[in-house]
């Protein structure tokens, strides 16, 4: 902890700037640097609508789990193993008989060009059949296509209706996107209050974006009567543990400042490192500062320099770290650059 350290006035001032920079959030830094993106932009300034995706295990593309020998399961099993033509041949008779899961599967095959020539028009036809038949995965996909006017005439009213149907059926991403539509239409306290149940359902399903949004809602009292830092940190930790890098860097800030719970510079370092390894440049800059000033760890000029180099390469400016890097010995500068080059190959992988 900082209170156990002895340091000069210069070091104290630098550490104070680190703490203030963390506490102030990422939109109003106290030192000279490129202004980063606003806090919580991704989940709250939507709608950021996901397009068609290849569904995973448990998707509505699959048949019931109780009947493992069902033809639909065999078709989906072939799809998972990459036997796309087999999956298509197995799914077609089911789809023709009105099976919405098989129809969605065929839509995926044509959309992605798996085993067949890519045909977005034909894929959309199958998605539409399945969506009208009640398949929530197809409703989510087809609704998004209508909302964006992607390969189809835009129809926001119909798109929103399909998205809501998918959300009401328990589709987590649809719940999150539907909440985004509400808040985009009404970016007010009452708008967030109306969207809150949908954000909450998606968050409880384990969707990291929604968990991050819930953290913001409770931290900033959007749609709730009072801010609640403990609840905000609860959701922030959920999102961070689910791999959302914006939540990881924010959680590092909260640990650094003791907001919503214990203060721990070591935990701040841990979460900055997690986010930095995914390419988050703000985390890379914070990590460079912590290594440079020995916050939560021992001073390590080479590591500090390496993370600073990575952040600079990504366009993040920090005059304090520029000056500290300039004071390094020639050999340590070279080591930092070499380490940065090695980290570049691993970051985001």
pLDDT tens digits, one per residue of 223-269: 999 999 999 999 999 999 999 999 999 999 999 999 999 999 999 99
**Res 30 pLDDT > 70:** no
Q: Can you name the residues that pair with 33 across neighbouring β-strands?
A: 318
Mark out the alpha helices in the chain (DSSP H runs): 9-23, 41-44, 71-81, 84-96, 100-112, 120-132, 136-148, 156-168, 172-185, 189-204, 208-220, 229-241, 245-257, 265-276, 281-293, 301-313, 319-326, 330-346
pLDDT score, position 17: 40
pLDDT of residue 31: 26
Per-residue model confidence (pLDDT) at position 73? 86
Q: Cα-Cα-Cα-Cα dihedral of 108, 113, 119, 123, to 10°?
A: 0
| Among candidate residues 122, 149, 176, the one where a domain is terminated | 149
Domain boundary pick from 149, 175, 209: 149
Q: Roughly what angle, to the nearest 10 degrees, separates helices 265-276 and 245-257?
A: 160
Do 279 and 340 fall within a single domain? yes
**Residue 308 in this model has a pLDDT that exceeds 70:** yes
Cα separation, 71 vs 144, in Å, equals 29
Residue 84 included in any domain = yes
Number of domains comprising the chain? 2
Q: Give residue 138's pLDDT.
A: 97
Question: In this structure, is residue 140 part of a structural domain?
Answer: yes
Residue 273, pLDDT > 50, answer yes
For the segment 48-57, the average pLDDT, to the nearest whole number, is 36
Greater model confidence, 218 or 349: 218
End-of-domain residue from the set 96, 125, 149: 149
Range of the domain at 136: 71-149
Any domain includes 208: no
What value does the mean pLDDT take over residues 295-321? 97
Is residue 6 predicted with pLDDT exceeding 80?
no
pLDDT at position 349 is 56
> Is pLDDT at 45 greater than 70 in this prediction?
no
Average pLDDT value for the chain:
84
Residue 199 has pLDDT above 50, yes or no: yes
Q: Is the pLDDT of residue 219 over 60?
A: yes
pTM over 0.85: no
Does residue 94 belong to any structural domain of this protein? yes
pLDDT in tens, 76-97: 999 999 999 999 999 999 999 9
Residue 103 has pLDDT above 80, yes or no: yes
- Domain assignment present for residue 210? The answer is no
Alpha helix stretches (DSSP H) within 169-204: 172-185, 189-204
- Percent of the chain whose predicted confidence (pLDDT) is above 90: 77
Alpha carbons 243 and 271: distance in angstroms, whole number: 10
> In which residue are the tokens 């606003």 written?
38
Which residue is it, tokens 């050999």?
331
Distance CA(94)–CA(204), nearest Å, equals: 34
> Running DSSP on this structure, what letter comes out for residue 28?
S
Query: Confidence class of residue 72 from pLDDT cuts 50, 70 and 90?
Result: confident
């Amino acid at each position: 902890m900082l209170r156990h350290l002895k340091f000069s006035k210069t070091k104290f001032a630098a550490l104070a700037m680190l703490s203030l920079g963390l506490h102030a959030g990422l939109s109003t830094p106290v030192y000279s640097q490129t202004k980063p993106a606003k806090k919580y932009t991704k989940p709250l300034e939507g709608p950021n609508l996901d397009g068609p995706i290849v569904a995973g295990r448990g998707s509505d593309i699959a048949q019931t789990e109780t009947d493992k020998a069902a033809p639909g399961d065999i078709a989906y099993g072939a799809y998972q193993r990459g036997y796309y033509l087999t999956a298509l041949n197995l799914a077609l008779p089911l789809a023709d008989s009105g099976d919405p899961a098989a129809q969605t599967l065929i839509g995926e095959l044509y959309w992605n060009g798996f085993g067949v020539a890519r045909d977005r028009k034909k894929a959309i036809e199958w998605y539409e059949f399945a969506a009208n038949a009640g398949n929530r995965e197809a409703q989510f996909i087809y609704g998004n296509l209508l909302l964006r006017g992607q390969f189809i005439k835009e129809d926001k009213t119909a798109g929103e209706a399909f998205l809501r149907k998918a959300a009401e059926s328990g589709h987590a991403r649809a719940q999150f996107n539907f909440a985004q539509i509400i808040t985009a239409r009404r970016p007010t306290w009452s708008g967030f209050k109306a969207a809150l149940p949908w954000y909450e359902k998606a968050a409880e399903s384990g969707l990291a974006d929604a968990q991050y949004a819930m953290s913001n809602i409770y931290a900033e009292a959007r749609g709730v009567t009072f801010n609640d830092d403990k609840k905000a940190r609860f959701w922030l930790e959920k999102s961070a543990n689910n791999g959302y890098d914006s939540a990881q860097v924010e959680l590092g800030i909260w640990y650094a400042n003791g907001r919503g719970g214990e203060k721990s510079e070591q935990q701040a370092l841990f979460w900055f490192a997690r986010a930095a390894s995914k390419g988050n440049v703000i985390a890379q800059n914070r990590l460079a500062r912590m290594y440079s000033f020995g916050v939560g760890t021992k001073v390590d000029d080479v590591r500090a320099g390496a993370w600073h180099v990575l952040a600079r390469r990504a366009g993040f400016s920090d005059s304090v770290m520029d000056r500290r890097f300039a004071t390094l010995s020639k050999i340590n500068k070279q080591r930092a650059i070499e380490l940065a080059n090695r980290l570049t190959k691993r970051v985001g992988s």
